[in-house]
């Protein structure tokens, strides 16, 4: 009897599946036709009834730091359309027409340890474990990056690395001209064909001047150095980007998404104009610029931010005469440092994983995942391996790079992208109305806007409107934290000839090959602007917790 019932159930199930998957003919009735087409007004009436007098906006509508409404319902009427196709202007849906199944994006690891030999060991280990691109923090003092003083030090860092297939990105630094010369010499000495080299020289004089409070009067000379290297790269190594727009500067200081994208647009426009004035074509000028953005754990907003960024940049470059792929924004994404907690470090793995997923779905070319113990300063081998494996899982198991623009067509994502692009464009116009990014920063306007946005975010956390898991809510007492790293020994500066005071690309390349040294800058050369200082949103609340040292 039981077997008869089971057989009947299976026959009914198969019949249902056959009906469900059968192709519809002209005679097949439309089962939805008998239902009235739903109207948004009817849904709103039901929603207001369910709210029982509570305010609709306060209860159901959330807003981003840029003031953009999110939800609670998006429909086909909210789709702005015009996003185009992947690989086509305005590149909202990505800069490639189809996914690269072998390497959908570059798994990029960053290196900050002082000792060049230790950095090399970590690099070779990471490359063997799946890393495909390198982000080098270089610092002659050895306090904020690898202690590279001369070309031999950089070659020691990159020993055993096939630079013809591994892109190298230099993190923006005030002393980038000398480091750029060393990196070019490495490419020349360690590769056969410079036209196949891919990477970035990390010139960011505008961002560095703003962040470190350096003399704005010196900026024109720094921009000319940048343009000279950009001209050299266009002629000799077109796969190397010279300038990097580090709009993560705004993000990490607590700025809104719209301000970050406006900063990126205004910074890119500043370099574009300088490059054009130096004789480069519009396409050459656009190709000489890369962008670095930060994403936090808000996946929909992160996806929309990258899509909106490409739209804004494509509009600027096309209006300035660039065309084709030159209008496509190449993006490096780093997972946000401002969201990394010290007291609940293991929750950071979840935060960085979701941020990395947003970067993939948003179409980034390079992605760096911060180690979970970043706020503790430990950066041990396990943390680095976990950070790397987050991306390997996204590639190999999640298959996140197998589909172009996977969020495309979602009314919520499309509307958020469009609103964010318009908000960023409006703020970009405000910056240009003030004379451009440099004047907007030197006048104090940019810093004031950023400070106000940072305060609003911290107030939202303080009042409970925004939760930080493990820090402001769901705390765990007595959690075992990783041991802090031992202080690295200071690397002495070699006593050899410095780089020349008079600049030309040729003179700096010759000096680098001759072993010229780069010494740490003298104290007092900069006065960092507090408005642009990196802000960890967890730190103020962790400091107040019992037993934590301030």
CA distance 79 to 72: 15
Whether 413 and 407 have beta carbons less than 8 Å apart is answered as yes
Q: Would the pTM count as exceeding 0.85?
A: yes
163-177, 265-279, 413-427: segment of lowest average pLDDT: 163-177
Homologous superfamily in CATH for domain 106-462: Methylmalonyl-CoA mutase (3.20.20.240)
Per-residue model confidence (pLDDT) at position 4? 55
Q: Give which of 344, 401, 395, 345 is closest to 370, Cα–Cα.
A: 345
Which are the contacts of 511, defined by CB distance < 8 A and separation ≥ 6? Answer: 181, 497, 499, 500
- Assess whether pLDDT exceeds 90 at residue 138: yes
Per-residue model confidence (pLDDT) at position 417? 97
Q: Give which of 514, 491, 490, 488 is closest to 149, Cα–Cα.
A: 491
Per-residue model confidence (pLDDT) at position 401? 92
Per-residue model confidence (pLDDT) at position 12? 45
Whether 150 and 182 have beta carbons less than 8 Å apart is answered as yes
- Assess whether pLDDT exceeds 50 at residue 17: no
Q: What is the dihedral of CA 30, 31, 36, 41, to 10 degrees?
A: -100
The kind and range of the H/E element at 469 are none
- Assess whether pLDDT exceeds 60 at residue 16: no
Per-residue model confidence (pLDDT) at position 75? 87
The kind and range of the H/E element at 157 are helix 151-157
Tokens of 504: 């030309």
- Assess whether pLDDT exceeds 90 at residue 237: yes
- Assess whether pLDDT exceeds 80 at residue 165: yes
What are 454-488's pLDDT values in tens digits?
Answer: 999 999 999 999 999 989 888 877 777 777 666 66
CA distance 78 to 324: 29
Mean pLDDT of 103-123: 95
- Assess whether pLDDT exceeds 90 at residue 504: yes
Mean pLDDT of 263-267: 98
- Assess whether pLDDT exceeds 90 at residue 363: yes
Per-residue model confidence (pLDDT) at position 549? 45
CA distance 450 to 256: 8
What are 190-217's pLDDT values in tens digits?
Answer: 888 899 899 999 999 999 999 988 899 9
Q: What is the dihedral of CA 227, 229, 233, 234, to 10 degrees?
A: 20
3-state secondary structure of 362: helix
Per-residue model confidence (pLDDT) at position 486? 64
Which are the contacts of 63, defined by CB distance < 8 A and separation ≥ 6? Answer: 69, 70
Tokens 């790079």 sit on residue: 401
| Strands 168-170, 133-136: pairing kind | parallel
CA distance 120 to 157: 5
Question: Can you say whether the dihedral through the CA atoms of 404, 405, 407, 409 is positive or negative?
Answer: negative
| Range list of β-strands (E), 152-236 | 168-170, 199-203
Instruction: State what percent of residues in the chain have pLDDT above 90.
Output: 70
- Assess whether pLDDT exceeds 50 at residue 274: yes
On average, the pLDDT of the chain sits at 90
CA distance 439 to 217: 11
Q: What is the dihedral of CA 253, 245, 306, 110, to 10 degrees?
A: -80
- Assess whether pLDDT exceeds 70 at residue 223: yes
Higher pLDDT, 321 or 73: 321
Alpha helices, DSSP H, located in 378-524 = 381-396, 411-433, 437-442, 445-462, 505-513
Per-residue model confidence (pLDDT) at position 192? 80
**Measured at the alpha carbon of residue 355, what is the angle toward residues 367 and 94, in degrees to the nearest 5?**
60
For the chain, the structural domain boundaries read 106-462
Tokens of 252: 């990490």
User: CA–CA distance from 82 to each of 305, 309, 331, 361 (Å)?
Assistant: 17, 15, 21, 19
3-state secondary structure of 212: helix
Mean pLDDT of 401-411: 93
Whether 298 and 356 have beta carbons less than 8 Å apart is answered as no
- Assess whether pLDDT exceeds 90 at residue 302: yes
Per-residue model confidence (pLDDT) at position 550? 40
Whether 301 and 413 have beta carbons less than 8 Å apart is answered as no
Instruction: State what percent of residues in the chain have pLDDT above 70.
Output: 91
CA distance 51 to 58: 11
Of the pLDDT bands very low, low, confident and very high (cuts 50, 70, 90), residue 526 is low
Which are the contacts of 463, defined by CB distance < 8 A and separation ≥ 6? Answer: none
Per-residue model confidence (pLDDT) at position 18? 41
Per-residue model confidence (pLDDT) at position 21? 45
- Assess whether pLDDT exceeds 70 at residue 8: no
């Amino acid at each position: 009897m039981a077997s008869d019932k089971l057989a009947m159930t299976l026959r009914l199930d198969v019949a249902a599946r056959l009906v469900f998957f059968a192709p519809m003919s002209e005679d097949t009735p439309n089962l939805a036709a008998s239902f009235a087409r739903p109207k948004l007004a009817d849904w709103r009436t039901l929603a207001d009834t369910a709210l029982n007098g509570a305010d609709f906006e306060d209860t159901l509508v959330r807003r981003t730091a840029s003031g953009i409404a999110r939800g609670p319902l998006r429909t086909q009427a909210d789709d702005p359309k015009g996003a185009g196709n992947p690989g086509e202007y305005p590149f909202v849906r990505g800069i490639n027409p189809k996914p690269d199944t072998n390497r959908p994006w570059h798994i990029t690891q960053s290196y900050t340890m002082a000792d060049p030999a230790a950095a090399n060991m970590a690099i070779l280990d990471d490359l063997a474990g799946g890393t495909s691109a390198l982000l080098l923090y270089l610092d002659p003092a050895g306090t904020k990056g690898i202690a590279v003083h001369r070309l031999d030090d950089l070659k020691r860092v990159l020993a055993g690395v096939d630079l013809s297939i591994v892109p190298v990105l230099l993190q923006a630094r005030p002393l980038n001209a000398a480091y750029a010369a060393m990196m070019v010499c490495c490419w020349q000495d360690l590769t056969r064909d410079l036209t196949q080299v891919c990477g970035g020289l990390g010139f960011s004089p505008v961002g560095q001047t703003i962040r470190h409070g350096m003399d704005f009067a010196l900026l024109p000379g720094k921009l000319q150095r940048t343009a000279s290297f950009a001209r050299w790269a266009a002629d000799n190594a077109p796969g190397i980007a010279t300038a990097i727009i580090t709009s993560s500067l705004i993000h990490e200081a607590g700025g809104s998404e719209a301000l970050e994208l406006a900063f990126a647009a205004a910074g890119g426009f500043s370099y574009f104009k300088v490059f054009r004035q130096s004789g480069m074509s519009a396409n050459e000028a656009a190709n000489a610029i890369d962008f670095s953005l930060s994403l936090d754990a808000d996946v929909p907003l992160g996806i929309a931010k990258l899509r909106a960024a490409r739209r804004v940049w494509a509009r600027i470059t096309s209006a300035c005469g660039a065309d084709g792929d030159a209008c496509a924004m190449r993006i490096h994404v780093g997972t946000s440092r401002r969201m990394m907690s010290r007291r609940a470090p293991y929750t950071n793995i979840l935060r960085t994983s979701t941020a990395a997923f947003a970067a993939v779905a948003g179409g980034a070319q390079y992605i760096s995942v911060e180690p979970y113990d970043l706020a503790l300063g430990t950066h041990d081998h396990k943390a680095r391996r976990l950070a790397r494996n987050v991306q390997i899982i996204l590639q190999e198991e999640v298959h996140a790079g197998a589909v172009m623009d996977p969020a495309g067509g979602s009314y919520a994502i499309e509307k958020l992208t469009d609103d964010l692009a318009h908000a960023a464009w409006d703020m970009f116009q405000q910056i240009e109305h003030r004379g451009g990014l440099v004047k907007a920063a030197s006048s104090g306007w940019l810093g004031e806007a950023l400070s106000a946005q940072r305060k609003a975010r911290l107030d939202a956390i303080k009042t409970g409107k925004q939760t930080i898991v493990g820090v402001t809510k769901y705390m765990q007492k007595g959690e075992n934290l990783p041991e802090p790293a031992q202080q690295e020994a200071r690397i002495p500066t070699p006593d050899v000839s410095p780089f020349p005071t008079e600049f030309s690309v040729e003179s700096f390349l010759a000096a680098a090959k001759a072993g010229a040294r780069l010494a740490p800058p003298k104290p007092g050369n900069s006065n960092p602007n507090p408005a642009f200082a990196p802000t960890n949103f967890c730190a103020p609340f962790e400091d107040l917790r019992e037993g934590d040292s301030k």
